[in-house]
């Protein structure tokens, strides 16, 4: 809808009614976009995965008997890229129609501790340190531990890609009376206001900020909102970024 249309609505119906109408319109538009993406992913997945399977299988077959080092590298690259395309299609389908969370009591402090142990050695070769700031306590989430791990790992990977080399990622747990907050902070180049508007859009590429092409942040957003939470982003260009995941406390 154009800005002129919403201005007309405000004059005719008032600010509050227009805000409610716009929120309902945005929600319906988002639902239609996700449904269209799901239909596209289902059709594209079927049509693209079949030739991908042939390409990957033939490359693997040729690789088995190939002895020339250069040709082996080429065949391995062909197979790896075919697998990458397959994974991107699978991610797109999961984003559009994710499975319902299999909820159980989750200790967020323990989850962050395990994630830091997992990411630390992986990013150490790029001189990126990973710190966990989470004291064990009575905080508990009603969540799917596998999905939550996927979301947090995607945010960690996003931070590492933004930093590139030499920096720090912090995973922090905070509790408030009504919410449990999980923060992922990095010392990367930050995100501009324009990029923040699109950062959770599928395949949006904020390359100016060092954030890559893909569905990582979109998956994280989808998982968090599927748990009844939200993600806030606080960042200024040149001053890193903080992603705050907000979840309602268990009753």
Whether pTM > 0.75 for this model: the answer is no
- pLDDT tens digits for range 197-213: 777 776 665 544 444 44
Could you give the count of Cα atoms lying within 13 Å of 112 in the half-sphere of its Cβ? 26
Exposed / middle / buried, residue 27 (Cβ in 10 Å: 0-12, 13-18, 19+): exposed
Cβ-Cβ contacts under 8 Å for 140 (sequence gap 6 or more): 105, 106, 107, 108, 250
Instruction: Give residue 199's pLDDT.
Output: 77
Neighbours of 65 (CB within 10 A): 6
Alpha carbon distance 225, 242 (integer Å):
18
Instruction: Give residue 45's pLDDT.
Output: 72
Instruction: Give residue 119's pLDDT.
Output: 92
- Alpha helix stretches (DSSP H) within the chain: 3-13, 15-65, 69-96, 108-124, 145-163, 193-198, 216-226
Neighbours of 250 (CB within 10 A): 13
Neighbours of 118 (CB within 10 A): 13
The fraction of the chain above a pLDDT of 90, given in percent, is 35
What domains, with CATH codes, occur in the chain? 16-96 (1.10.287), 104-248 (3.30.565.10)
Cβ-Cβ contacts under 8 Å for 145 (sequence gap 6 or more): 104, 106, 111
Instruction: Give residue 83's pLDDT.
Output: 86
Alpha carbon distance 168, 185 (integer Å):
8
Residue ranges of the chain with per-residue pLDDT less than 70: 1-2, 30-31, 34, 37-38, 41, 95-96, 137-138, 202-215, 250-251
């Amino acid at each position: 809808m154009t800005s002129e249309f919403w201005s007309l609505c405000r004059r005719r119906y008032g600010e509050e009614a227009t805000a409610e109408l716009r929120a309902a319109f945005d929600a319906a538009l988002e639902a239609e976009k996700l449904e269209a993406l799901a239909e596209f992913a289902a059709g594209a997945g079927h049509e693209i995965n079949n030739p991908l399977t042939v390409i990957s299988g033939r490359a693997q077959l040729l690789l088995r008997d190939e002895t020339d080092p250069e040709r082996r590298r080429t065949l391995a690259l062909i197979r790896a890229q075919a697998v990458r395309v397959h994974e991107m299609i699978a991610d797109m389908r999961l984003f559009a129609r994710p499975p319902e969370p299999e909820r159980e009591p989750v200790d967020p402090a323990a989850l962050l501790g395990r994630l830091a142990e997992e990411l630390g050695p992986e990013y150490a070769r790029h001189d990126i340190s990973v710190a966990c700031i989470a004291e064990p306590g009575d905080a508990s989430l009603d969540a799917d531990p596998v999905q939550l791990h996927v979301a947090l790992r995607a945010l960690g990977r996003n931070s590492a890609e933004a930093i590139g080399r030499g920096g720090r990622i912090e995973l922090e747990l905070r509790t408030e009376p009504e919410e449990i907050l999980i923060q992922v902070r990095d010392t990367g180049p930050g995100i501009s206001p324009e990029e923040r508007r699109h950062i959770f859009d599928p395949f949006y590429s904020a390359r100016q900020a060092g954030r890559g092409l893909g569905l990582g942040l979109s998956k994280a957003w989808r998982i968090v909102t599927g748990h009844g939470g939200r993600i806030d982003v606080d960042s200024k260009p040149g001053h890193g970024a903080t992603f705050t995941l907000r979840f309602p406390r268990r009753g």
